[in-house]
Amino acid sequence: MESLVSTEWLANEMGASDLRIVDCTRHLPGTGRDALAEYEAGHIPGAVFMDLADLVDAGAAVENTLPPAEKFASRMQSLGLGDGSRIVLYDDSAVKTAARAWFMLKMFGAHDVAILDGGIAKWKAEGRALTQGKEVLRHRHFTVWQDDKNLRTKAHVLANLHSKDEQVVDARGAKRWSGEEADPRPNIASGHIPGSFNVPYTALFNADGTFKDKAGLKAAFQGAGVDLGKPVVTSCGSGITACVLIFGLHLAGKDDVALYDGSWTEWGNDPDTPKATKPAA
C-alpha cells in the first residue's frame, strides 16, 4: 500500500479483511466544531474514530505532547487496529490532522499506514457512500515499541542553533512565523526559532485539498530556502501541522526528517530561548 491513497483506491478496497479505515479529525479550539459529532453524523463506511485529543501525555508540561507507547497501543487495540492491519487515515480538519496520526502510528510501530488524499471532503464531493453512528471493531493486538530517532527535544534544537546540523522548518503561517501576528495562546512570544525556514503547511496542497505532486512538494520547500539534501526538523504551534510537513517530505522522497514535538508552544513560552522576528517587507 502506498503512503497516499486515492478515494478510488479506497472504494475498491472496501471490505478487505485486513483494511482498517480511521477518521482522525481534530479541530482547533475556537472553531465551534465537534469532530466526534461530525463523525457520528456521517463517516466513510467502516471507519472508526481516533480521538487525537486523548492521544497525548496527560502529565507533560507542554500541551499535545506525544503519548507514552503503552497508552497509544492500548487505544489502537481498542479501535481494532493491530499487527497486520492496513490502516487508511483521513480527516476533515483545516489543520490536516491525519498526518499527526500517521506520524504516531509509524513511530509506535505500525508498518502499513496511508493517508486518504483529499480526505472525506473529496469522498463526499464524489458522491460516495457515508454511514452514520459509531463503528466498533474487535480488539486486535498492537505490538508496543517506540522509535524516537525522528523526535527532537528543546535541548536538541537549542544545541542545533550552534551546530546547524539540521534545518528547522516551521509549518505555521507566514505572519505567525515572522512575528507580525501574535501567537493565539496566552503568554507565548511572537516570532520563530532563529535560523528556521517557513513553509506553511497549506503550501503542500492543491486547491481541492489533495497533496501536490512530488515536483510541487519539492518546490514548496526549495522555494523557501530548504536544502533537501540536508536533514530537517519540523516545528509548528503544537506539533500537529509540523507532521504535515513530515508527510509531505516523505512523499517527496525525503525521510531524514524529525519532529520537534514541543514546537512553538514550548519554545515561545520559555523566556530563555532566543526568538527571531522578520520585519515586514
10 Å Cβ neighbour count for 278? 14
How many angstroms separate the CA atoms of 46 and 136, rounded?
9
3-state helix, strand, coil in the chain (%, to 5): 30, 15, 55
What does 58-82 look like in DSSP terms, one character per residue?
TT-SSTTPPPPHHHHHHHHHHHT--
**3-state SS assignment for residue 23:** strand
Choose among 89, 91, 117: nearest CA to 248: 117
How many angstroms separate the CA atoms of 34 and 16, rounded?
30
Written as nine digits, the cell of 70 is 503503552
Q: Which residues contact 66 (CB under 8 A, 6 or more apart)?
A: 56, 57, 104, 107, 151, 239, 261
Q: Is 243 a catalytic residue?
A: no
The one catalytic residue among 56, 95, 236, 259:
236
Give the residue numbers marked as catalytic: 236
